[in-house]
Structure 1
Amino acid sequence: MSDDGKLLGVVILTRHGDREGYYQDPKTYTSKDTAITPLGSQQEYQLGQYLRSRYLNSSSSSFISGVNASVADDDQIKIRADGGGEGGVIFNSALSMLQGLFPPTRQYNTTLANGTMVVGPLSGYQTVPIESVDSEENISLEGWVDCNTFTNNTKALYASSAFAQKEEEAASFLSDVSPYVGGRPTSLENMWNIFDYLNVQSIHNATFAAALPDGYLVRARDFANWLQFNVFSSPEIDGVGNIPGRTMVSSILDGVASIVDSSDPLKIRYEGISYKPFISLFQMIGAVEANLQLAGIVNYAAAIAFEVRSPTDGGEPTIRLQFKNGSEEATFTEYEFMGTRDVPMSAFVQTLAPVGVNDTTAWCHVCSNTETRGCQYLVAAQAAGVNSVKLPKIGSIGAGFLGAGLALLLALGVFGVLVFIGVLTVRPKRKPAAKGSVHGSDTESQPEKY
């Protein structure tokens, strides 16, 4: 076993906190907006406190070397949050997490020309830039939305013998639970919505929680875990079921590349996401094979940390996987992945880079989309015989994403029909975003992949 070495930085992925209920289309997984609850904000704040105690505490064995632990340095941290299907829940979760990670401090101050020292409001409340990732402009955090091959893959699952077998297994439970699902269709393909309703009501409705028979929530979760694992992952690392993870590859690799670059100040890269990319990524990096409990829906405020470490022997940087499944777990648990504890950075990159879907052109091709999320402009450009035109990148990660900026140019007729073909770029120049307001299984068995 290798030594811990020096922690250079960390790429963190977190699920949002507790929220109100909402509904997802079980065939396309498009969803309705919802809202974070005070409990969800508290869960995220506590997560931020834990991350601070681990990574920003100089007495911690996992203290990040060279980080400014008191006042947030915009050059050292990069915060992105999915602004798509669940409304402001993920963005607001990031806000709450940041208040735990960088709490108010009187060190957040400035001295004016007249000698007056002004401390930030609320005894030094710190505002940290958050990039809200609009799914219509950037495919990186919601790669499954409007992805036709993903939808077809889901339909194929529903038509499979494995699904029919599981449906037969669930039939009795679906009949029994029907009085408690708020009128939702009681079918296996709708099991996520059934589980979510039971879970939300059990947390927030005392009358419902008292009336729900023992074991129903556990059984609903078990079936939902099987369903979501089979929908949002593939046995093959480049399978279309892994599209939620594959579109995040460039974000993760950019973060790792920046952290190991001595000329780049980045120390913490944070991605606020839904539960879906967790399922894909755990499968893609081989963590599920050794840890079957990871094959399911992660809890509210769950967090993955890819820790980038420099061994004391001066060798190649390594990546270590930590996971904390929500506020129910007090600390990170270290998991083996890719067959080992500390994965050499080169192996990490060589495994993930080839399967990443890093730009809109690639996404349109993989997803057989010609009509939405910028793909319609690609089709129009190809029809006009335009091969490529370099446009400013949307967002700051190392891949170009075709979106509203290009749509506006097309509408204005500035360049006629244009298309931007993005390429993976490590260590991009980061520009701060505008400041301001911007459940693992508790059963013993885990879903098998059909």
Structure 2
Amino acid sequence: MMHLVLLAALAAYGVVAVPIQAEHDLGNIVFASVLFRHGDRAPTSSYPNDPYNDVAKYWPRGYGQLSEIGEEQHYRLGSYLRQRYSDLLPLTYNTNDTYIRSTDVDRTLVSARCNLEGLYPPTERTLSQPSIRFQAIPIHTETSSNDDLIVPFYNCAKYTTLSSYLKLTDEYQCVVNATAQVLEEVAEFAGTTTSSASGLHDVLFIEELYNLTLPDWVKPYYPQPLRNIELLEGFISAAGTTQLQRLSAGPVLKQMIENMQNKLNGTLSPDRKLYIYSAHDSNVVNLLQALKVFNGQLVPYASAVIIELREKLGSPYVTVSYKNSTETEPYLLQLPGCAHLCPLDRFVELTKEVVPDDEATECAEAVEEGETMDFQVPSAAILPEWEHCFNEPKILFGFKHHVISFKIPFFKLL
């Protein structure tokens, strides 16, 4: 039996989030980084007994492709960013103002394109062109095998090893055992395997979103417990420890921080004002977990994490906001250990444990036997039938939410 130590629950995933209001005096924005999830899409796959697996009929653009709804979502998000940064960005695109990076996936590339249509609407010059009525803006990308910024964990041996250790812990295996019967039943109904049954939540969610009648057999399993099974297996465990956060969200957070520091020091070249990262729900979760502000909920389409360098009374500050709907203003988040308006130096200090010095070097490092890591699970992600798998949580400092955190000694895999 592994030795467990309950750690102080620093509201890492339940920090107070408040809508940004005009009366908040947050200073002037001088630089911004925006990482968002792609918009509404078709399912990335189906299952053998799916009544809607006729791709041509139900998903004419193909599995995983952005939909017209997704296009509209990102156009609206881009329009919001245009409004938010109207004093920061000229109306006409210039490479010295904005840089856009996307994963090499159709839905993120198209989301970036639609977002830019809203961020940089046609000008008088483009409107005068009969054939081209948009601003042509480059979107940079790398294949997954070469992407060491947004999805660096794809080819990180240490990340793979750490993930394996995490899934061998007593707590994780306890949840696996607690959900085994559900996944077996779901797999039998769906005609698939138990290892892929949790992923059916995404398929069912999208079909329901498109007003397709779900089979009767799904009622005991959807949305719960499939939703939280997918959340734990596919998202929380992927960046549920400091080490995993460091190797997944660390590189992009490192670039965001370096850009802010260089902007402040006058050494950012080109001296841009906005960096955009078009990515996936997993990237949003990874970044929020690394910042200790994840709320334990699945990430809606076109959600965005907005990290801004601000100037107030001659001093540099950082704000972190989460816009999880195109219908509402973003929520201003507070990192544990800092105010909503966090001094830049303090922000750097609070995040240094999840920012790698050199990603390639760390990925090549072996995991030392006897090393420990902290596995943090937002309480919102734990279903009642799983509570026995974890130590009794404690709520400290009066925060509303909490995390369950414990030490896991590493051991060699056979």
| TM-score after normalising by structure 2 | 0.71
Equivalent residue, structure 2, for 1:72: 93
Task: Name the aligned partner's letter for residue 149 of structure 1.
Answer: K
SS in 2 for 1:279: helix
Deviation at 1:234, TM superposition (A): 3.7
Equivalent residue, structure 2, for 1:362: 361
Deviation at 1:211, TM superposition (A): 7.3
Q: Is contact 1:286-1:337 (8 Å) kept?
A: yes
**Does structure 1 residue 119 correspond to structure 2 residue 119?**
no
SS in 2 for 1:162: helix
Equivalent residue, structure 2, for 1:401: none
Equivalent residue, structure 2, for 1:27: none
Alignment CA distance shift 1:38-1:211 (3 Å) = farther
**Does structure 1 residue 243 correspond to structure 2 residue 247?**
yes
Deviation at 1:244, TM superposition (A): 1.3
**Does structure 1 residue 50 correspond to structure 2 residue 50?**
no
1:238-387 matches, within 5 Å, as: 239-262=243-266, 264=268, 265-288=271-294, 293=295, 295-311=296-312, 313-315=313-315, 317-327=316-326, 329-339=327-337, 340-353=339-352, 355-357=354-356, 361-366=360-365
Equivalent residue, structure 2, for 1:445: 380
Task: Name the aligned partner's letter for residue 314 of structure 1.
Answer: G
- Give CA deviations for 1:296-339 in whole Å, capped at 9, x if unaligned: 4312211000021100x212x11101101244x52201111142
Deviation at 1:179, TM superposition (A): 5.7
Task: Name the aligned partner's letter for residue 264 of structure 2.
Answer: V
Of 85, 110, 114, 1:96 maps to 114
Q: Is contact 1:81-1:271 (8 Å) kept?
A: yes
- Take 2:362 and 2:136, find their aligned partners in 1: how far apart are those partners? 34
Relative contact order, higher structure (CA 8 A, sep 6+): 2
Q: Is contact 2:291-2:335 (8 Å) kept?
A: yes
Deviation at 1:74, TM superposition (A): 2.1
Of 157, 171, 186, 2:166 maps to 157
SS in 2 for 1:282: helix
Which runs of structure 1 show a deviation greater than 6 angstroms over 4 or more consecutive aligned residues?
none
SS in 2 for 1:216: coil
Deviation at 1:180, TM superposition (A): 5.7
- Give CA deviations for 1:229-266 in whole Å, capped at 9, x if unaligned: 44222443xx1354210121332123323443557531
- Give CA deviations for 1:388-436 in whole Å, capped at 9, x if unaligned: xxxxxxxxxxxxxxxxxxxxxxxxxxxxxxxxxxxxxxxxxxxxxxxxx
Equivalent residue, structure 2, for 1:409: none
> Considering only aligned residues, what root-mean-square deviation do their CA atoms show, in Å?
3.2
Task: Name the aligned partner's letter for residue 230 of structure 2.
Answer: A
Q: Is contact 1:47-1:301 (8 Å) kept?
A: yes
- Take 2:131 and 2:267, find their aligned partners in 1: how far apart are those partners? 33
SS in 2 for 1:7: strand
Task: Name the aligned partner's letter for residue 101 of structure 1.
Answer: L
Task: Name the aligned partner's letter for residue 273 of structure 1.
Answer: A
Deviation at 1:98, TM superposition (A): 0.7
Alignment CA distance shift 1:241-1:125 (3 Å) = closer
Task: Name the aligned partner's letter for residue 314 of structure 2.
Answer: G
Q: Which structure 2 residue ranges, 5 or more long, are not aligned?
A: 1-22, 47-61, 368-377, 383-403, 407-414
**Does structure 1 residue 223 correspond to structure 2 residue 229?**
yes
Q: Is contact 1:242-1:281 (8 Å) kept?
A: no
Alignment CA distance shift 1:176-1:98 (3 Å) = same
- Take 1:19 and 1:8, find their aligned partners in 2: how far apart are those partners? 33
- Take 1:306 and 1:149, find their aligned partners in 2: how far apart are those partners? 28
Deviation at 1:210, TM superposition (A): 7.9
- Take 1:267 and 1:120, find their aligned partners in 2: how far apart are those partners? 31
Equivalent residue, structure 1, for 2:203: 197
Q: Is contact 1:298-1:326 (8 Å) kept?
A: no
Equivalent residue, structure 2, for 1:207: 213
Task: Name the aligned partner's letter for residue 304 of structure 2.
Answer: A
Q: Is contact 2:74-2:111 (8 Å) kept?
A: yes
- Give CA deviations for 1:134-178 in whole Å, capped at 9, x if unaligned: 233331111111322222222223322112221233245334534
- Take 2:354 and 2:106, find their aligned partners in 1: how far apart are those partners? 30
Alignment CA distance shift 1:354-1:445 (3 Å) = closer
- Take 1:231 and 1:143, find their aligned partners in 2: how far apart are those partners? 16
- Take 1:205 and 1:156, find their aligned partners in 2: how far apart are those partners? 40
The aligned length equals 335
Q: Is contact 1:9-1:307 (8 Å) kept?
A: yes
Deviation at 1:47, TM superposition (A): 1.4
Q: Is contact 1:90-1:273 (8 Å) kept?
A: yes
Equivalent residue, structure 1, for 2:151: 142
**Does structure 1 residue 8 correspond to structure 2 residue 26?**
no
Of 186, 194, 215, 2:194 maps to 186
- Take 1:299 and 1:279, find their aligned partners in 2: how far apart are those partners? 11
Equivalent residue, structure 2, for 1:397: none
